[in-house]
Amino acid sequence: MESSFPSTQNLGFCESAEGKNEAKSYKEMISTFPRVQRWSCYEGFWYFPMFLEGLMSAQDHFIPQSTDIFITSCPKTGTTWLKALTFAICTRSRLSGSSASSLLTKVPHDCVPLLEYDFAQNPMKRDRAVPLVSTHVPYSSLPKSVVSSCCKLIYICRDAKDAFVSLWHFIADLQRSKNIEPLSLEEAFELFCSGISSYGPYWDHVLGYWRASLEFPEKILFLTYEEMKKDTASHVKKLAEFMGCSFTLEEEEEGEVQKIISLCSFEKLSNLEVNKNGKHRADTSFAMKNSVFFRKGEIGDWANNLTAEMGARLDYIMEQKLKGSGLKLPR
């Protein structure tokens, strides 16, 4: 089965009259949704409009390839790293022994397309040999075609305080580069604590995938950034096993796991020419510097940005929201 929307003719973003009408109707629908700042609320979660149009189009049209594996996350929780690792793992047989990994010349986001933006813009622009699709869409809003498929999903999340701080820097940097005055850290924090942030409420996003991973453990792998940092090697092996491409004994003896860890490390990726000076979606109005995806890559940087009171408040909110779920996020 081929992965795509049925045809570009049916897309909300294409040039056909049908596509244009559909895009218009998504826009019209979105204009009626509750709105705070630039976020619109849909099915209980908050989105910037361009991602929401793509999500609605995906819900209507997207059909996955049966071999697809979805990299899922709330923004700023380690998606770039997880994309790099999964891409390196599943392309290693094509690339073994060579230094020609696409990760050396492309930002990981250009190696693994985003369902609600890249696919919606151009469903044909995909390397079909790479079975990876990413999305920030919450579990409850995923296209039914994905939920009912046999596709696997890998979810990553992170301490809410670090995720918030990372998100604030990311959006503020992008807005400054477009001469838009960003929200202050304090304003954004208040909104985050009331559930309003990109693809938030953060806790509901995490809980949706957590509960699904308990219900379908063979289909959904639930990871945290902190645990992956603590023991990257065992996570790389776990990822490979889950994706159905375990490392052979020979590969392990040849240091393949370590090579992948080094290639995908923050130090390596953030210092590549393409990630220092290149642009993501360079030919679109949504172009951004690749360097925005690499800030510090550390655990606990929230403490350099939030007061202890702010930290304790967000910890308390998360504790209350996750109560009874069996999930304890690292903090």
Residues with active-site annotation:
136
- Binding to ligand A3P (CB under 6 A): which residues in 274-313? 293-297, 301
Closest approach of Cβ 90 to ligand A3P, in Å? Answer: 17
When the beta carbons of 5 and 39 are compared against ligand A3P, the nearer one is 39
**Closest separation in Å from C-beta 52 to ligand A3P:** 19
DSSP 114: B
Q: How far is the CB of 31 from ligand A3P (least distance, A)?
A: 28
Instruction: Draw the binding track, 129-168, toward ligand A3P (x: CB under 6 A; -: no contact).
Output: ---------------------------------x---x--
Q: Residue 143: is it exposed, middle or buried by C-beta count within 10 angstroms (0-12/13-18/19+)?
A: buried
Give burial (CB, 10 Å; 0-12/13-18/19+) of 96.
exposed
Beta carbon nearer to ligand A3P, 264 or 274 = 264
Residue 241-280 contact track with ligand A3P, rule CB under 6 A, x = bound? -----------------------xxx--x-----------
**Beta strand 39-42 with 35-36: parallel, antiparallel or unpaired?**
antiparallel
Q: How many residues bind ligand A3P (CB under 6 A)?
A: 22
Angular region, 123: left φ>0, alpha ψ -120 to 50, beta rest: alpha
Which residues is 156 bridged to in the sheet?
73, 223
Q: Site residues for ligand A3P, window 203-232 (CB under 6 A)?
A: none
Q: Give SS3 for 109.
A: helix
Identify which range of 13-21, 59-67, 72-80, 319-327 contacts ligand A3P by CB under 6 A: 72-80
Q: Which of 12, 75, 123, 195 binds ligand A3P (CB under 6 A)?
A: 75
- 67 within 8 A of 6, measured Cβ to Cβ: no
Pairing of strands 39-42, 69-73: unpaired
Residues sharing a CB contact under 8 Å with residue 95, sequence separation 6 or more, in sequence order: 101
Identity of the residue numbered 220: I
Q: Examine residue 91 and tell whether it contacts ligand A3P (CB under 6 A).
A: no
Interaction site with ligand A3P (CB under 6 A): 73, 75-81, 84, 162, 166, 169, 264-266, 269, 293-297, 301
